[in-house]
Structure formats: structure tokens, C-alpha cells
Chain A
Amino acid sequence: MNEHIVKSYEDELNALTAECARMGGLTEAQVADSLEAVIRRDQALAEQVVARDERLDILQADIERKAIRLIALRQPMANDLRRTVAAMKIANNLERCGDLAKNIAKRTMVLAEAEPMAALTRSIERMGRLVSGRLKDVLDAYTASNLERALQVWSRDDEVDEHYNSLFRELLTYMMGDPRTITACAHLLFVAKNMERIGDHATNIAEIIHYEITGDEMMSVPRPKTDGLTV
């Protein structure tokens, strides 16, 4: 970066948040594109997603380096320290989301060789929309420093789980009905699991936002959780 530009402390902090937001945008695009690739069985798009993942890794390393530099040189206190740490943690979560999106994209390459399964792709699409929406909501909450929106994402994690469980059943039915679909269904199962984990990362980010804004951990409050068939 441009070492010759002397930035103020506030500018540096803002730049960190901004870079996190930009990384968030890239992650959203990766997740959306990997889903699109699965739904449309688009190999070229899947390859693009895999190739682009490196950019997320670079951004994450960059944010981490800047955060550490800021801590070392500026010794931020209280609110500023929380902002710095939050940026670092969010970048970590986003990088994981990117990896999961890459994994989804890789499976497209296998799925594209199997027969299309229209009903299943609709269910995958629905769950994917839900997960992308949560990622978008939580990043909106982050850029706007809106605690209420972050908490909304946090308290609605069970929706993704319910979709995952429903999809799991649907896939089992397919596999039992026609063993030739087992390969494709097994891959779709992992796609669903990956999406569920992206949803979990969105929840993590909501917790980090809560910490950044209030300074309190969220662990003390029990999350409304649906028990049962989590597989």
C-alpha cells in the first residue's frame, strides 16, 4: 500500500472497516455465484469461483496485517480496539465462507455430469437464497453498525437448520428411490451442509458485531434453537 500517504488514526480504522465490507461483498458474490453454478450446472462459472477464491485469502491476510500493525503502532483502546479485533475476526469468518463457496463450486463439476434433478435444485436454490440473504443482512448490519439487525440474523439461525433438515430428508428419499442418483445426491448433501455452515458463519459475524458495539460476549444468552434432527 501507499506508505507515503500519512493517514490519520481514524482514517486507518475506517479503512479497516471498509476493507472488511469490501471483502464481504466479494464473499457474497462468491456464495451467490457458487449457488448459481450448482443450480444451472454451469462449469465455467464454477471454475471462475474456484479461481477467485485466492483474492479472498489475500484480502484476509491483508486485513489481518493491517489490524496487527494498527494495534502495534496506535495501541487502540476500548471501542477502537474492539473495532480492530472485530474486523480481524470477521475477515476470518468471511474467508471460511469463501472456502465453503469454493467447495460448493467444485462439486458442480461432478454434478454437471449427472442427470438434472429439477425438484432438488429448487430446494437447494431456496436454501441458498436464505443463506445468501442472511450473509447480506449481517454485512448490512456491520456496515451500518446496526445492532438490532445483527441480532435479528442471530436469532433466526433455526430457519436455515429447518431447511437443511428438510433437504436432508428429501435427498434420502431420492437416494432410496433410485440408487443411480446416489452420487449426485451425496454431493448435493455436502452442498447443503456447506450452505448451512455459511449460515453459521453469518451468525458468528452477528455475535462479533454485538461484541464490537456493546463490548459484551453473546454467550450468556441462550439462542432459540430447534433441537432434534440436526445431522
Chain B
Amino acid sequence: MPPPSRYTLPIWTALASAGGGALVIAALHMMHRLDIEAAMAGIILVLAAGALIGWGGASGIGLGEDPAAPGGADELSREPPYAALVDALPDPVLLVTGLEPDDPTGRRYVLANPAAREVLNLTSPSGLLVTAIRDPDVLEAVDEALFGQVAASALYDLGGTQERVLKAFAQPLGGEDGGLRTAVLVLRDETDIRRAERTRADFLANASHELRTPLASLSGFIETLRGHARSDEAAREKFLAIMQTQAERMSRLIDDLLSLSRIELNEHIAPAGEMDLALAIMDVLDSLGPLAREGRVTLTSDIPPVGWAVTTGDRDQLVQVVQNLVDNALKYTPPDGGIKVRLRTDLSAAEAVAPVMEDSSRLSLLTPDHGTTRYLVLQVTDSGPGIAREHLPRLTERFYRVEGQKSGARPGTGLGLAIVKHIINRHRGGLAVESVEGSGATFTAYVPMS
């Protein structure tokens, strides 16, 4: 029995001598249109044809030379384009081998393209299959393809902070009875579909529930104005003012719900583009300056020079993070209090969430999956009443409000921190809160440095 790594070689060389370029291109083309099932069939056709002809060639039947390598150059020089083909596919692809049906731990993956290595977080291009995928349903599908010789599929919940859902397709590639068998496993990202479904359900539930309250109050006042308050000048002015506040609240709520839905739909797609977090903070502080002066709150900042805090991120979204955090701090800081905004660069995840206040209760609201990167750390500290420890776990919940706390003249929508959390999660960062009852709270948001 040849070792698995050498087993794959005949397939690629066979592919090369079969001159299956057209088929491969067709397969690639189909893959490009995300038509996986058709593309899989194409690839398998290529592999099968290649294998037949290739092995024929090896045993002396011969099929002419590869035009790209006249004179029958060494086999290695023919291999790369076909390995590159699988490597170039946008979807994760694994080649799986197995020897014994009743030794489920003997399945190995002998080839994993970069997409697969990224999604499954693999360090080596081959190894035991269970170290890459543990999901029992997917393993069962692979078994069916290997030993039942039928195509099978399974839903694969990847878990993790970004909550990705994949569909796994396993197709048999043949092999001798009792010998080494091979199958190909293709994963397709279905997070979008599922997320859209859930977002729609959430949106309907939230919108109908949360919009009903201001709407009920609006129609109540309209009734009063048409009824006994019709000719009461003073009451009319007062009611109209209340109605305006309610209408404004409804419109803010709709804005926030829509932006939350948009962010959630893209949450698993990492942002592209460079932006300077220091500049974003300066912009936000400038725009919130008048509001702070109005409430007699001192805004102090400690941010690095422009160009030091550059990150890969969506500028508008990160501005919204800063905006929401500072805005929240403003809401809860009493007159003559102070708010401190601090940005530090090049810290590890552990350093980012290290305590900054004494005797505080702390909680991480969001932790990134892989904590080996260096982070930009934004900290907003207020001098408000602080948050009791039992409320900390629920802070990023939609519409959650800490009982008995007044947020002053400008009531929020209860979505601010939820939005912050989802944006930071999209940026693969983290969020933590720290609070001392009676003397203030600190929110820490950190995103990877570019």
C-alpha cells in the first residue's frame, strides 16, 4: 500500500497526461458560478478520466506527450497546475482517504486547499480527519462516500464567535475493495442564507414589539387631541411636544434596527480597506463636543499620533462604535463629571482586557477566536453611577435596560451596545466591560492591527 501522500501523485500526473484541461476549465467555470454539485461532477469526471488514461499511460499504452512538456519532462513539473487548480478554488476542498470501515479513526485528509485550511484552522496539509472535523454528521457523510460509494451531504455548524454554517458534500472517488479508498469533501458556506432567515425573524419580532409602545402612545394622544383637549391651547402644545419625542424615538429605533440587520448580515465577512482609528476618534469627539459642553461634561482623550493606529476596517462602522460608546458615556455621566477616551496600540488580547479600575467587576462581552494577534485598544471611561455586576452579562442584549437607571433626557433605543458588539465581532475583535458601582464604568473595544 503506497503512503497517502504518494497516492495523490498519480492523480495529478494522470490529469496532466490526460490533457483534461477543457474539462478542468469547465469545472472551474461551474465552480465560479457556485454551482457546486455540477462542478463536483465535473471534477470527478476529470479525475476519473485522468486516472484511467494516466494509469494506462504508466503501464505502457501511451497517449502522446503533454504539449506543455515536450520530450516527456519529469513528472513533478507537470503536477503544479492541477494542485494549483484545487488550491485556487474559493470553496474549501479536502481529499479524504480511509482503509477500514470499522476503524473510524483511520480516516485521513491527504490534501486540503488554502480555503479549507483557513476555515478549519489547519496547520498541516495532511493529517487525521478527526483532528480537522469532529462533527459526527459530516464524518458519517464521509464514511458513506468512502465505503458506501454514494454521495452524501450534511450540515456542518462550525460554531465559533462568527457562527458559521457550512454544507458539506462528500463524493466517492473510488478505490479497491479492502484497499485504500478516496473521497472528496467540499464545503459550501451557507451562513448567509441562515443568517438572513434569522435576522428576518428577529427583526419582525423586535420591530413589532418595540415599535408598538411609542405607537400606542401616539394614537392615545391623537385621540385626546381630537376629543376633549381639542380647544385647550396649552394641552395641545404639550401633547404635540410629547408626540414629537415619541415619533423621533420611533425613527431612531427604525434606524438602529436597520443598521443592526445590515451589520449582522455581513458579520462573517471580514472588512476590507484601511482606516486610522485615531482620526475616527477625533472626528467623533469633535462632533460630540457641543453636547458634552451642554451637559458640563469634560471630554479628555489620550490617542496616538495619526498613522500609528491603522487597522483593516470599515470606517463608517468603527466610527459608529466610537460614537455609540462615547454617546453612552455622555448619557450616564452627571454634570461636572468627566469622560476619558484612550486609544493604545500593539497590545495582546490579555493586555487589552487587563483591569484599569480598582475593585471592579469585569466581564468580557465578546472574545475573539484566535488570540495571537496584536490589537488596537479603545477605552471609554465615564464617571457615572456604574453598572451592577449582575447586569453585566446582559448588556449587549437587544433592548436590555438596567432597571432603575435613568439615561437622562435622551433615552436611547437599547440597541447601541448590541450594534457595537456586532461591528467588533465583524472586525474579529473583542469587547469588555468593567465597572465600579458608584464611580463609573469602562468599556474596552479592541480590533486587530493591520
A binding-site residues for B, Cβ under 8 Å: 1-2, 5, 14-15, 17-19, 21-22, 24-26, 28-29, 32, 122-123, 126, 132-133, 136, 139-140, 143-144, 148-149, 152, 156, 158-159, 162-163, 165-166, 169, 226, 228-229
Chain B residue numbers with a CB within 8 Å of A17 are: 128, 131
B367 contacts A1, C-beta separation under 8 Å: no
Shortest Cβ distance from B39 into chain A, in angstroms? 28
B binding-site residues for A, Cβ under 8 Å: 100, 102-106, 121, 123, 128, 130-131, 133-137, 139, 157, 159-161, 361, 363-364, 367, 370-372, 389-394, 397
User: Nearest CB to that of A224 among chain B residues?
Assistant: B362
| Further contacts, 17 of them, CB under 8 A, given A136-B159, A163-B393 | A1-B103, A5-B100, A5-B103, A18-B130, A21-B128, A21-B134, A22-B104, A25-B136, A133-B160, A139-B134, A143-B131, A149-B370, A156-B364, A159-B363, A159-B393, A165-B390, A229-B390
Shortest Cβ distance from A103 into chain B, in angstroms? 20
Shortest Cβ distance from B139 into chain A, in angstroms? 7
Shortest Cβ distance from B444 into chain A, in angstroms? 15
With A and B bound together, what is the CA distance between A15 and B333 in angstroms?
59
With A and B bound together, what is the CA distance between A166 and B157 in angstroms?
27
Q: Once A and B bind, how many residue pairs between them come within 8 Å at the CB atom? A: 92
With A and B bound together, what is the CA distance between A132 and B364 in angstroms?
16
With A and B bound together, what is the CA distance between A140 and B161 in angstroms?
14
The A interface, classified by DSSP as helix, strand, loop or mixed, is helix
With A and B bound together, what is the CA distance between A121 and B134 in angstroms?
27
Give 5 closest A-B pairs by Cβ, nearest first.
Answer: A25-B134, A18-B105, A143-B131, A21-B130, A166-B393
A144 contacts B131, C-beta separation under 8 Å: yes
B136 contacts A166, C-beta separation under 8 Å: no
With A and B bound together, what is the CA distance between A148 and B390 in angstroms?
29
User: Nearest CB to that of B135 among chain A residues?
Assistant: A25
Shortest Cβ distance from A118 into chain B, in angstroms? 8
B361 contacts A226, C-beta separation under 8 Å: yes
With A and B bound together, what is the CA distance between A7 and B96 in angstroms?
20
Chain B residue numbers with a CB within 8 Å of A18 are: 105, 128, 130-131
With A and B bound together, what is the CA distance between A154 and B48 in angstroms?
48
Contact A1 B123, CB 8 Å, known A21-B131, A32-B157, A166-B391: no
A2 contacts B372, C-beta separation under 8 Å: no
With A and B bound together, what is the CA distance between A11 and B306 in angstroms?
56
Which of B133, B160, B161, B390 is packed against the most chain A CB atoms within 10 Å? Answer: B390
Chain A residue numbers with a CB within 8 Å of B136 are: 22, 25-26, 29
B131 contacts A156, C-beta separation under 8 Å: no
Chain B residue numbers with a CB within 8 Å of A126 are: 393, 397
B392 contacts A162, C-beta separation under 8 Å: yes
Shortest Cβ distance from B12 into chain A, in angstroms? 27
User: Nearest CB to that of A118 among chain B residues?
Assistant: B205
Can you list 21 A-B contacts (CB < 8 A)?
A5-B100, A15-B103, A18-B128, A18-B130, A21-B128, A21-B130, A25-B139, A29-B137, A32-B157, A123-B394, A132-B159, A133-B160, A136-B160, A144-B131, A148-B372, A149-B371, A152-B371, A159-B364, A162-B389, A162-B393, A226-B361
Which of B105, B393, B397 is packed against the most chain A CB atoms within 10 Å? Answer: B393
Chain B residue numbers with a CB within 8 Å of A158 are: 363
Shortest Cβ distance from B234 into chain A, in angstroms? 39
With A and B bound together, what is the CA distance between A166 and B364 in angstroms?
14
A166 contacts B394, C-beta separation under 8 Å: yes
Chain B residue numbers with a CB within 8 Å of A143 are: 130-131, 134
